[in-house]
Structure 1
């Protein structure tokens, strides 16, 4: 699977995200002669356990919370990320209906990551907004950068960094109140190898969500 980096928009102190920033960031892809390839959407769900009286003794054994992710490029799969235990699991999409029937966990919050996909030579860019399901309230802006020829984290690191430098320069020319951040991730902590997979993407989404929450708390 091609190497992918997920970045999030970090507003400057006192600033916030808005639809105008999203529009201008998308225009950066247009200005770099990006070819639009359609829309994309991934959904990240934050689950909390449903503790029944008879199950209270098991509380310490249950994950306090975890994330579920459905991805635009893996429509038949569902991914679970338990950050406290550094676990990432891949399941069939039908696991969602099984969870609903078991009623062991409930959805606390669900966010859509969606926007437009662009092709720039050997790169695919996905610029998107982060918003709660059934709401237009903008919670963040993300950028997926995928380098199609390489699946090795180590081999692709330099060319990804060089591409992002060019991208950040294009964005900075618009004098927007913030910048995109890429969080370095130690995938080995999750038992993942150098060969990139969808599980690596799931871990990046979990980390970006944590950053978005932290950023929102700092601004509130």
Structure 2
């Protein structure tokens, strides 16, 4: 199934063309299930790098073996009007772009207002920059360390703007490697999360990790986990982090 969306009015004097991109709504390759969690500070508490260090120490304390670094980048895009007229109704007013650490060949688009998650070849970023119809308003990097822990892979990291070191959030990915079914892996992930919370509680930190379930059905996503599920979770996680900072 495909959806053609116009990413710009795409009238470029230099290219003299109108372009619409056909972006796939589904990936043929199923992935193993991931949960994304973000740090929720206690009322009045602030974020700091010590919380991140303690979370990494907790991963190692549970037996996790450090397995390199990871980075996922999320970009907020806004249209760049070429004149005073309003953009066509079928042109998204804003959307998110996502470069996942484990899919370097693919770029994802999350159109929250339309409940769509799409993907294209990673080269689409260079095309968009050349055509100058959408502006990258702000870029956030999610980055940190990866750990192997039995049947799980943990990624603990921070969320920071690309042009600054201001800590905007702390989050983690938990990936359960044996299964690609969301429902079949739910109980195992819940049990792991309980163990994680219990271990972290011993450190008496001013907050806790929470998991907000994304409504995948709203985006037409099924039980078998794909990279689109991860993209939707990052959009949900980012919204929660921004809300936590504002409060």
TM-score computed with the length of structure 1 as normaliser:
0.96
Distance 2:46 2:94 in 1: 27
Which runs of 5 or more residues in structure 1 are unaligned?
none
Aligned 1:44-63 pairs, distance under 5 A: 44-53=74-83, 56-63=85-92
- TM-aligned CA deviation for residue 59 of structure 1: 4.7
1:153 alignment counterpart: 182
Distance 1:109 1:134 in 2: 9
Three-state SS of the structure 2 residue aligned to 1:97 is helix
Relative contact order: is structure 1 or structure 2 higher (C-alpha 8 Å, sep ≥ 6)? 1
- TM-aligned CA deviation for residue 61 of structure 1: 3.2
Whether the 8 Å CA contact 1:51–1:59 is kept in 2: the answer is no
Aligned 1:7-86 pairs, distance under 5 A: 7-53=37-83, 56-86=85-115
CA offsets per residue over residues 121-163 of structure 1, 9 Å max, x none?
0000000000011321111001100000000001000000000
More helix by share: 1
Select the structure of larger CA radius of gyration: 2
Distance 1:214 1:57 in 2: 30
Which runs of 5 or more residues in structure 2 are unaligned?
1-30
Distance 1:84 1:142 in 2: 24
1:3 alignment counterpart: 33
Distance 1:182 1:25 in 2: 15
Moved over 3 A (4+): none
Count residues with an aligned counterpart. Answer: 217
- TM-aligned CA deviation for residue 16 of structure 1: 1.4
TM-score computed with the length of structure 2 as normaliser:
0.86
Distance 2:46 2:32 in 1: 32
Aligned 1:1-220 pairs, distance under 5 A: 1-53=31-83, 56-218=85-247
Distance 1:16 1:61 in 2: 41
Distance 1:29 1:143 in 2: 10
